[in-house]
Structure 1
Amino acid sequence: MRTDDSILRDPTAEAAAERRAPLAPPADLKAGTLALLDIGKMRGDEFVDKLDALLTAEGFTIRRWKKPTNTRTAPLAILQEIAGEADAVIIALSDCGSCTSCSTHDLNDLDQRGVPGVNVLTEEFRDAFARQCGTLGFDGRSVFVPHPILNRTTAEIHAIAAAFLDEILERLGHTRRRAA
């Protein structure tokens, strides 16, 4: 009778990865181009549409991209276009595990390409985002909105986008001036 004396090893790193700080956002976000990356999640376009309308009304120059699917990272061509044309990026709207992972990888990849950004996710995936950032060794910026999104009306989704716009912009170093 033969016994198996194999030793199994944990393939993950034994030491915690040092987290890389995200790039500093542009000093004047309105002076450049702000990318909106729709991750391709159902109903996420309604959130991004509202952000686009609000930001455009405030004088931001917006350029939009949309991933073909939320369950994969953005295609290289999209990442290269954003890196070549935008000064900062807002990635939205993750509300499940796989899209949280993929959008966090996109955030990290764009940051490494010189485009600082913020990832907008639902509150339910706060821990998943933190763990993914830890695995990547990246201290990514995030804003968490209420969960779930899919069962809300368009008006509710638009209201959430409007309610969190200040926080999204603040994460990118921009403070809105409100009329007195």
Structure 2
Amino acid sequence: MKYWKQGFYDEYQEGSVEITDEYYQELLAGQSTGLIITESKKGYPILVVHEATIEETRSQKLDELRLFDSSEAVNQFSINGVLGWLNKSTRVGLMNSINIEKEAGRSETSIWIGDTKFVLSIERAIDILQQLELYALACYDTTQRHTKAIQQLETKEEIEAYNFKTGYPGKLSFTG
């Protein structure tokens, strides 16, 4: 036998209720599937479905938005059909390096996407990096607008129905 008084005990506690080992196992099994153990009005442990608060629902939706914003659904472009992404620090570093190459009189540079090397004119490489930066800025702006919209919604139903996958610019595709 087990005992319940806002938690499980192996020995009787003042004010606790006795439950069978079978019911104890049933409660634990239910809890492992996401149900919550709470008390009935008579003080017995029961399983209930967790009903998310509006703030939990909002937090979940914002987490989903952050995952989408950092996914290949947003962070991807292609050169000659090769897909990849250059993060902010890589884009800035490349732009600095390519400008140094330009000042040194070079006419070509290389950009790597994964393990594929693209040899491009300095002007083409700068153009690609500028377009990528503008694309990334537009995506950031879209994500921030969605974040603000989600924060201003007033019901769980509105939050759950909100589609944050809209409004992002089309992915960029370049030829080398």
TM-score by length of 2: 0.24
Of structures 1 and 2, the larger Rg is shown by 2
TM-score by length of 1: 0.23
Q: Which has the higher contact order (CA 8 A, sep 6+)?
A: 1
More strand, by proportion: 2
More helix, by proportion: 2
